Amino acid sequence: MVFQQIVQGRSRNFAYLFASRPGGSGFVVDPGPDPVPDRLLEIIRDLRVSVTAIILTHHHADHVAGTVALAAATGAAVHAHAETARLLSGRVRVDRLLVDGATLRWEENLAAVVLATPGHAPGSSCLVVNDTWLVTGDTLFIGDCGRTDLPEGDAAALFRSLQRLKGLPDHLAVCPGHDYGPVPIRRLGEEKEHNPALQAADLAAFKAIP
């Protein structure tokens, strides 16, 4: 298995590279914000990975800015939720739509389950990769969650999405979209214990979090 968490840009975005093995096939999540993701491409080439998919967790520019360049360099198909595709129209071409509950596969030992988690953005999606990693984009951070005061953000939808993530197994490693927390990755069980966004008992309590 290949797992790489790559920090990019001034907003401390995380891009992710998963592959079945060095020299195998795999995918990239959120290749931004650098317009030409040189460091990401260098890692892909060093590991001899064939990137066949670029998966976008949502449409915000800091998560998608490297998509066109990476797709051109690798020939990968761009995957995103239908709402993300709508909001990216004219900026990034989406080749395949992510469907809630679908499983995407690469070779014999790499699979990603799609979870629709709207709230931060209408098309926000998370991925459970190999029952090991939970890639959360801007839905869930380490110690916090995504904001909902941007256009088309929805606090009630985000609360419901976080409740869905809260129901997942504790052993999953939360892999957020930004390096905003005390550590870059933490087990979901620890987030349930320490993250106020997951501890809120109801929507009112969630909205009251500073």
Q: Helix 38-46 crosses helix 67-74 at what angle (to 10 degrees)?
A: 30
Q: Indicate the pTM of the whole model.
A: 0.97
Report the DSSP beta bridge partners of residue 15. 6
> How much is the pLDDT for 34?
73
Range of the domain at 144: 2-207
**Residue 35 predicted with pLDDT over 80:** no
Find the CATH number of the domain harbouring 187.
Answer: 3.60.15.10
Read off the pLDDT of residues 113-128 as tens digits, 9 standing for 90 and up.
999 999 999 999 999 9
Share of the chain above pLDDT 70, in %: 99
**Residue 37 predicted with pLDDT over 80:** no
| CA dist 167 → 88, 131, 162, 192, 198 (Å) | 30, 14, 9, 10, 10
Rounded to the nearest integer, the mean pLDDT of the chain is 96
Report the domain count for the chain: 1
Read off the pLDDT of residues 138-161 as tens digits, 9 standing for 90 and up.
999 999 999 999 999 999 999 999
Tokens for 162, please give them. Answer: 């976080």
**Residue 197 predicted with pLDDT over 90:** yes
Confidence grade of residue 206 (pLDDT, cut at 50, 70, 90): very high
**Residue 74 predicted with pLDDT over 70:** yes
Buried b (16+ CB within 10 A) or exposed e, 14-26: bbbbbbbbeebbb
